[in-house]
Amino acid sequence: MRWTVRSKLAAGASLVGCLATAAIWQMGWHTPRAQNTERLQCDTALAPAATPHPGMVWVPAGTVAMGDTVYQEEQPIQTSQLKGFWMDRTEVTNAQFAAFVAATGYVTVAERPVDTQAHPGLPPELQQPGAVVFVPPTELRNGGDVRQWWQYRAGANWRHPGGPDTSTAGKDAFPVVAVTIDDAQAYARWKGHALPTEAEWEWAAQGGAPATSGKTDQPAQANTWQGIFPIQNAATDGFVGVAPVACYAPNGYGLFDMIGNVWELTRDRYRPFHDARDNRPPDQEPQGSWTVGRSAQVKGGGRRPEDTEQNAPPSSIPTQELQRQQQPKQHVIKGGSYLCAPNYCMRYRAGARQGQDDDLATSHLGFRTILRDTANVAAHPEKP
């Protein structure tokens, strides 16, 4: 799912690109349970683990095969060597984010005034702070036009994910949503943590199981969409909307909801393919936005770091590259969410990925943090 300032101007708050996932509430912030939920045991009060970092689990070092072959942006598959790290065993919750806001006075991007001078021509309804919210349609009248089920709602933010008439009251154990990359990084810095790289996130999501590619089976232990998106949801997984954290079985590392529930931000900037630069060490700062390159290209119209705009003859600049330069800055999001469905978004896989606009708050996106604590590595010997 993509929502850009340009698309707002061009189509009056239209949505462009591919649907990733989104929060689905019945016209707001509601999460009714399905009738067949006996097998679900939501551990909303996770007991502190006996670790140096409560609420986190150790992810051992290893070699990750990053990527998949289902969608073009997941290719090519790249391998990367990773050191071990600690990771939040759940997505950051409303309660945890509220503690951060109370301690710092932080104001999220969705709560800040809109800079109308930077974005002239915005219609009045888009000049108010807010976020993009999923509103399930009763019928489809215009094929795959995503404006049928997405709305920009003034007053929607992490406290009111479905709009000003909704609230997170009583939902402390739900993942915080309607946050941007700046919001997630601010929280991580406050904790003394960081956001995971795409490779770190994918390695953790695999949970120690062998990597697979080309598999699109819907996971049984994850909050995804069962039925025909966006008009029919059987909710056989127990929820028709976002679920509290830890309602489904953890993976092999003890991490909950790495697949489904809400998408998760990573620290890596997005580009629509993988290449060798994705193998950079996690302690190396991410590269900035791509510049228009000359002739050295990879599949998907990419370029290598040494290619710069001043060295590129005009005839060699790919049209796709010029178009990409006009798009907002994005970061990689991973894991899919409870709106991923076989008929529209098969991104309920560790290797799936998508870009999220840096200044866009949506009701389907959250995050978790990691900690690279070498002082406590000895307590967790690596697997051979």
Cα 308 to Cα 292: distance, rounded to the nearest angstrom = 6
| pLDDT at res. 293 | 23
**Sequence-distant (≥ 6) Cβ neighbours of residue 299 within 8 angstroms:** 75, 76, 273
Instruction: Detail the DSSP E strand segments found in the chain.
Output: 56-59, 62-66, 78-82, 85-88, 130-134, 150-154, 227-228, 232-233, 263-269, 330-334, 354-357, 365-366, 370-371
Per the DSSP assignment, residues forming a β-bridge with 33 are 239
Cross-strand bridge partners of residue 144: none
Is 301 within the bounds of a domain?
A: no
Residue 293 lies in a domain: no
Q: Write down the pLDDT at residue 132.
A: 94
Q: Please count the other Cβ atoms lying within 10 Å of the Cβ belonging to residue 172.
A: 15
Reported confidence tier of residue 128, pLDDT bands at 50, 70, 90: very high
Q: Is the pLDDT of residue 19 over 50?
A: no
Question: Is pLDDT at 113 greater than 90 in this prediction?
Answer: yes
The pLDDT of residue 12 is above 60: no
Rounded CA-CA distance 331/264 in Å is 10
Q: What is the average pLDDT score of the chain?
A: 77
How far apart (Å, rounded) are the C-alpha atoms in residues 77 and 332?
Answer: 16
Is residue 294 situated within a structural domain? no
In Å, what is the CA distance from 150 to each residue of 2, 95, 109, 143, 171? 10, 27, 19, 14, 23
Q: Is residue 182 part of a domain?
A: yes
Residue 250: its pLDDT value, please?
Answer: 96
pLDDT by residue (tens digit) across 154-170? Answer: 999 999 999 999 999 99
Average pLDDT score over residue span 316-343: 72
**Mean pLDDT of the region 319-345:** 76
Q: Is residue 319 part of a domain?
A: no
Q: Averaged over 1-30, what is the pLDDT?
A: 35
For the chain, how many structural domains are there in total?
Answer: 1
pTM equals: 0.77
- pLDDT confidence of residue 231: 84
Q: What is the mean pLDDT of residues 344-351?
A: 89
Nearest to 176 by CA among 25, 43, 364, 348: 364
- Which residues span the domain enclosing 369? 1-285+329-384
Tokens of 366: 């959250």
CATH code, 157: 3.90.1580.10
Answer yes or no: is pLDDT of 304 > 50. Answer: no
Instruction: Specify whether the CB–CB gap between 68 and 216 falls below 8 A.
Output: no
Task: Write down the pLDDT at residue 8.
Answer: 41
Residue with more model confidence, 200 or 123: 200
Tens digits of residue pLDDT in 212-231:
778 888 888 899 888 888 88
In a domain, 281, yes or no: yes
Answer whether residue 295 is part of any domain: no
Residue 309 lies in a domain: no
Q: What is the mean pLDDT of residues 8-32?
A: 33
Whether pLDDT at 173 is above 70: yes
